[in-house]
Structure 1
Amino acid sequence: MPRRPHLILAGLAVPVALVAAGCGGPVPVDVPKLSAADQDACDAFAADLPDTLYDEKRVDIEPADAPAAAYGDPAIVVRCGVGVPKGFDETASCESANGVGYYLPDEQYTDQDLDLTLTTAGYRPRIEISIPARYRPNAGPAAMAVLAPLVKQHLTLVDDCD
């Protein structure tokens, strides 16, 4: 598989304007089964997630204690403790933001009309950022950059991907 050049996003400025989220009730999130150590890391990561992400206010999730957060309507969802994404292997390339590598499937990289799923490639436990197509092209790089310091702080680097 050909490797894409890395996308480096250091010092990306993210606007702080707030947009009201919809009133559709809590956003359902899948809760992975985690080891005690991964649960602790994910809980600490989730507790430090920001109140806004890409101009979208944080909204309620269900279950409320999941190691996750949702922003806006349609929701941008950040989950901790996800499995290996489909299509990811040792030859997959990463996009890098503030020193953290994220995997995204090739078809999502090339088709801006698709929803975007970014997964930390070299950290354990992994986080996943699901971004509806409506927020593309800028929400992916912005979310990667904003979340990178939290990834480095709370998760363990096991394979450098950037």
Structure 2
Amino acid sequence: MFSSRIRRRCLTGTSALALLITTAACSSTDDEASVTVPSPDAKAAGLCRDLHAQLPKKLDGLERTDPGPTSDLTAGWGDPAIILRCGVERPPEMVDPDYAPNNGVKVNGVAWLLQKHDDGSYTFTTGARLAYVEVTLPKERTGDGLGPLTDFAAPIKKTIPKGIA
């Protein structure tokens, strides 16, 4: 009887501990950005890992503050964060003949599809590369124009070859 009471307490304690850990892992603070990690195929994932190793420590004067969950497919700078995700799906707008030609920019040899959102933020996605790289600029970071994209050009050109993903 004594041992079953201890076992019950241990199981109850273990369950409470598991719940606490799960809750802590699922919650985030206001200071930490959180993103959905892409799920690319193995080839694109390898290219993204190479890109991750080449990304700058500072971007447009902002310190690197990677979002959670930690992944070689995501990176961030500043607060509110400029977020990079590598290995994302091709945006449907990229193949829309009425949208894509009028909403593209080229920055230091890297072509980007531009998407403006209702909240004032922008998403840029690389085109003509073997993995799609997406950069989101929050509204608070759009005042510098395309400045942040210039810091991504060299690492992208070095690690993500031209081609169609």
> Distance between the aligned counterparts of 2:87 and 2:51, measured in 1?
10
1:82 is the counterpart of 2:96: no
Unaligned runs of 5+ in 2: 1-28
1:127 is the counterpart of 2:133: yes
1:96 is the counterpart of 2:106: yes
Could you say which residue in structure 2 is the equivalent of 1:29? 35
1:148 is the counterpart of 2:153: yes
Superposition CA RMSD, Å: 2.1
Greater Rg by CA: 2
Greater helix share, structure number: 2
- Deviations along 1:90-121, whole A, 9 cap, x unmatched? 5312201111110013xx29x8x710100001
Q: What letter corresponds to residue 161 of structure 2 in structure 1?
A: T
Task: Report the CA distance shift for 1:26/1:137 in structure 2 as closer, same or farther (over 3 A).
Answer: closer
> Distance between the aligned counterparts of 2:64 and 2:154, measured in 1?
19
**How many residues align structurally?**
132
SS of the residue 1:156 aligns to: coil
Greater strand share, structure number: 1
Asked whether the equivalents of residues 31 and 66 of structure 1 are also in contact (C-alpha less than 8 Å), the reply is no
- Deviations along 1:29-74, whole A, 9 cap, x unmatched? 2112122211111011012111111221111321212411111111
- Higher RCO (CA 8 Å, separation ≥ 6 residues): 1
Q: Which aligned segments of 4 or more residues in structure 1 are displaced greater than 4 angstroms?
A: none
> Distance between the aligned counterparts of 1:66 and 1:149, measured in 2?
18
> Distance between the aligned counterparts of 2:32 and 2:68, measured in 1?
6
TM-score normalised to the size of structure 1?
Answer: 0.73
Unaligned runs of 5+ in 1: 1-22
Could you say which residue in structure 2 is the equivalent of 1:158? 163
Could you say which residue in structure 2 is the equivalent of 1:40? 46
Could you say which residue in structure 2 is the equivalent of 1:13? none
- Matched-pair identity in %: 29
TM-score normalised to the size of structure 2?
Answer: 0.72
1:110-121 correspondence to structure 2 within 5 Å: 114-121=120-127
